Structure 1
Amino acid sequence: MKINPWLFFCSLLLLPYHLRAQTAQAVKQIEELTTTNYPQWDALYKYLHQNPELSLQEEKSAARMASELKKLGFEVKEKIGGHGVAGIYKNGTGPTVLIRADMDALPLEEKTGLPYASKARGINAAGNEVNVMHACGHDIHMTVFVGTAQALIKTKDAWKGTLVMIAQPAEENGLGADRMLKDGLFDFAPVPDYAIALHDNSYLPAGTIGFREGPLMASVDMMDIQVFGQGGHGAAPHTTIDPVVLSAEMILAFQTIVSRTLNPIDPAVVTVGSIHGGTVHNIIPDDVKLQLTLRSYSPEVRQKTIESIRRISENYAQAAGLPADKMPVISIREPMTPATVNDPALTRRIMGLFRSTFGEKNVTEVDPYMVGEDFSRFALENSRVPICMFWLGTLAPETIQKAKEKGEQLPSLHSSLFAPVPEPTIKTGVKAMSVAALNLFGK
């Protein structure tokens, strides 16, 4: 068959305009979908909010995510690394884009007073019955996840490639992504060209987005220290080596690591979050257990922090007169959570798109946070997969203004009072994730 060169040349010239028109039509469809589908998203959000599940126990949440993906025609695999879910939708030849949401909740009693507040109870890792709440907004994440899947299937004529949707368990304890990867996630799903995610933000107004190129969230280590002593009667402390006093001295000394040992321009956090020792008023115990969280952005700072804790612990124990066999026992939970570092080029691309979609004033550059997120693991070894996570605003502007006027702190993530405004938050999240994916499918 002979092809007219002139017609072929003209078709090539017109192709970009055709693709732009397709994309514009798809964005319009997504906008319409955020209105027509919002009632079902609202119902889904409130169901998830009222039925939170602790880390590694996300059975119902995972089943719901899998069900929603199957209804849309995804090839779905469940129980990856626990309750992990992966959905694949192949739509011709093109890039592979991974979208991830997390599912687990926290052991907190909700105090928001909302009509759909959680009253759920669960059993924690220690075997204790606890209240359970979505205080980190993973219910928002899951709802946006489902809405985004619906939007991208609705607009599938406007993109080519493979969409991979990941519903991840156990983000809060830092184990979920690692377990999914070790359980063969990428034996089932293709390794993506891009991986994107969002996290709701307890300080930004609903309808807005926060971003940062490069380091966004810190690495996380969980450390346990058992401090030994020589117990005895509380009325005869001179016959003992008091591990409570020794622990107190160590805790105070730990505070100098960030202020005096590390370079002041290198961010780091050393927090002692739990102290347990003793049984009654008048007995000096034989040991005290401490639980710490360590945060940093560089491997060098992380290592120096750990070495400083070991040095301080052993030196204080020696100064207290303890023998070599009673030096503090220090253990660091594996795996640690690496820092979340956004790929600069990918982040610039997506944020440029968001500025044109939502307006300059609604897309804000933010400082790095010292919280952690195991989405970082989807970058794989040597950061070979470009990743981008952005912040999604959740609060009514008047709530923020009222807090400023009164000089009050807004409830943070992990607060029993954290209460996102559902509609503008979910709609913005769905639109943002959907247009970002459309853009990435366009290479």
Structure 2
Amino acid sequence: MAGRIASEILRRFSIDLTSYEDLYKHFHAHPELSLQEKATSEKITAHLAQLNAYEIQTNIGGYGLVGVLRNGPGKTILLRADMDALPVKELTGLPYASSVVMCDADGNDKPVMHACDIAKARASWSGTLIVLFQPNEERGGGAQAMVDDGLYSKIPIPDFCLGQHVMRLRAGTIGSRPGTIMAACDSMKVTVFGRGGHGSLPHLTVDPAVLAAHIVVRLQTIVSREIEPSDLGVLTVGSLQAGATENIIADRAEIGLDFRSVKLETRQKIITAIKRIVEAECAASGSPKPPIFTPTRRFPPTDNDNKMADQLAASFGEHFGEDFDGNTDRSNVSEDFSTLATSKGIPAAFWFLGGIDHGVWDRAIKEDSLIEVASNHSALFKPVIQPTLRAGVDALCVGALTFLGKQNSSPSHKL
């Protein structure tokens, strides 16, 4: 369906988003951590049920759910949204800010925050629409869990997968690009061992805090000295834990690592370098036991199908005008959305949705202070409800209508 037609349909069937603003505030104030999205899933299920248009299936790969809207012959389009929140104490000061505390996967209490009615227009399009609400995106396991739990035996296999995520961009803007739009991401915990003892007798110990400190400093040379400057590589030490009191030398330290790449060979180069450096520093410190490397997360790169990206660019350009950027910068953040597509060889496309208040964004641009604008995963990240919500709804609808057929069109080869 041409971009102009998709935009016209959307304008003709535009809906009042007041009730959806209330839903947004509810979800923002009642977030749930990965693998614990029970109430969120139930709330979404109840909302879909009252629309009386979708075949609903729940508890797929955890608390994942899907709604299927069949509307005659044509393509099958999957729209994905994620549901889980982050272990971050919200400091936005919003009246609907989260004050929720939940127990995380490690047994620790953590504060939590969530850093168009196509059905009405059924006479104007033909095909099948699938809305998928995915759990456990933040830990990178939800999409695979849904696939492994038989997702595609429960619903029609889609012809196209579409997804979006709010980002640190001007509210109401849409950004996409052909090819890789988000990097791959790996996380791991590295445990190194020392010999514990009293702080007054350091010569009788092997201090894992000192060992870990040397590792942290040396790890910084991987990207700066081993990755080609034109390539993408990011390595972050996100956590470092050793001991629990001032005068005791611990017997181990744990280092939390996060690293990003686009090329598989670059990923392997980073992993190899991490292990080489850690093992060498352990040997240099006289560590009594070899280190342990424990992978904790892995996100694939998110690659937009070039043909889909071109078709979406035409539709988004028609609908959003100057608020659409078809060559947005590739991001180093990561998503597991693409697993829903690559597991079945389905073409997919993903885009960014801007959520930053216009005044805040424009002032930061004028003062060259964008670095001070809070981004995703920050305790101060606070997307404005409008025009963010309207743009997000419009983008999903325009995206779906771009690939759905016109009513009375000939059947797809795949039903």
Which residue does the alignment assign to 1:140?
none
SS of match in other structure, 1:359: helix
Q: Which has the higher contact order (CA 8 A, sep 6+)?
A: 2
Measured after TM superposition, the shift of residue 402 of structure 1 is: 2.4
Measured after TM superposition, the shift of residue 29 of structure 1 is: 2.2
Q: What is the alpha-carbon distance in structure 1 between the residues aligned to residue 286 and residue 86 of structure 2?
A: 41
Deviations 1:78-105 (A, max 9, x none): 0001100011111111111000000111
Matches within 5 A, 1:424-439: 424-439=387-402
Find 1:80's aligned residue among 52, 60, 63: 60
Which residue does the alignment assign to 1:331?
294
Measured after TM superposition, the shift of residue 23 of structure 1 is: 5.0
Matches within 5 A, 1:9-20: none
Q: Where do 5+ consecutive residues of structure 2 fail to align?
A: 406-411
Which residue does the alignment assign to 1:69?
48
Q: What is the alpha-carbon distance in structure 2 between the residues aligned to residue 424 and residue 110 of structure 1?
A: 22
Find 2:277's aligned residue among 287, 301, 312: 312
Specify which structure has the higher proportion of helix.
1
Which residue does the alignment assign to 1:253?
218
SS of match in other structure, 1:365: coil
Q: Is the 8 A contact 1:122 1:131 kept in 2?
A: yes
**2:152 corresponds to 1:152:** no
Which residue does the alignment assign to 2:409?
none
Find 1:353's aligned residue among 315, 323, 328: 315
Q: What is the alpha-carbon distance in structure 2 between the residues aligned to residue 107 and residue 333 of structure 1?
A: 16
Measured after TM superposition, the shift of residue 172 of structure 1 is: 0.6
Which residue does the alignment assign to 1:415?
378
SS of match in other structure, 2:394: helix
SS of match in other structure, 1:388: strand
Greater mean deviation of Cα atoms: 396-405 or 259-268: 396-405
**2:110 corresponds to 1:126:** no
Q: What is the alpha-carbon distance in structure 2 between the residues aligned to residue 437 and residue 23 of structure 1?
A: 9
Q: Is the 8 A contact 2:194 2:205 kept in 1?
A: yes
**2:365 corresponds to 1:400:** no
Measured after TM superposition, the shift of residue 396 of structure 1 is: 2.2
Q: What is the alpha-carbon distance in structure 2 between the residues aligned to residue 210 and residue 24 of structure 1?
A: 17
Which residue does the alignment assign to 2:20?
41
Q: What is the alpha-carbon distance in structure 2 between the residues aligned to residue 390 and residue 346 of structure 1?
A: 12
Deviations 1:248-288 (A, max 9, x none): 11111111111111222221111111111112222221111
Change (3 A) 1:176 1:361: closer
Find 1:29's aligned residue among 5, 9, 12: 12
Letter aligned with residue 65 of structure 2: V
Find 1:273's aligned residue among 227, 238, 241: 238
Q: What is the alpha-carbon distance in structure 1 between the residues aligned to residue 368 and residue 7 of structure 2?
A: 44
RMSD of the alignment, in Å? 2.0
SS of match in other structure, 1:423: coil
Structure 1 stretches of at least 4 aligned residues deviating more than 4 Å after TM superposition: 19-25
Matches within 5 A, 1:201-216: 201-202=167-168, 204-216=169-181
Change (3 A) 1:179 1:319: same
Q: What is the alpha-carbon distance in structure 2 between the residues aligned to residue 65 and residue 154 of structure 1?
A: 19
Which residue does the alignment assign to 1:228?
193
Measured after TM superposition, the shift of residue 403 of structure 1 is: 2.8
Q: What is the alpha-carbon distance in structure 1 between the residues aligned to residue 66 and residue 150 of structure 2?
A: 11
Change (3 A) 1:178 1:216: same
Q: Is the 8 A contact 1:23 1:158 kept in 2?
A: no
- Determine what percentage of the aligned residue pairs are the same residue: 41
Q: Is the 8 A contact 1:105 1:134 kept in 2?
A: yes
Q: Is the 8 A contact 1:275 1:288 kept in 2?
A: yes
Q: What is the alpha-carbon distance in structure 2 between the residues aligned to residue 216 and residue 113 of structure 1?
A: 32
**2:85 corresponds to 1:105:** yes
Measured after TM superposition, the shift of residue 68 of structure 1 is: 2.1
Measured after TM superposition, the shift of residue 388 of structure 1 is: 0.8
Larger radius of gyration: 1
Which residue does the alignment assign to 1:371?
333
Q: Where do 5+ consecutive residues of structure 1 fail to align?
A: 1-15, 136-147
Which residue does the alignment assign to 1:3?
none
TM-score normalised by the chain length of structure 2:
0.92
Letter aligned with residue 279 of structure 1: A
Find 1:301's aligned residue among 256, 266, 275: 266
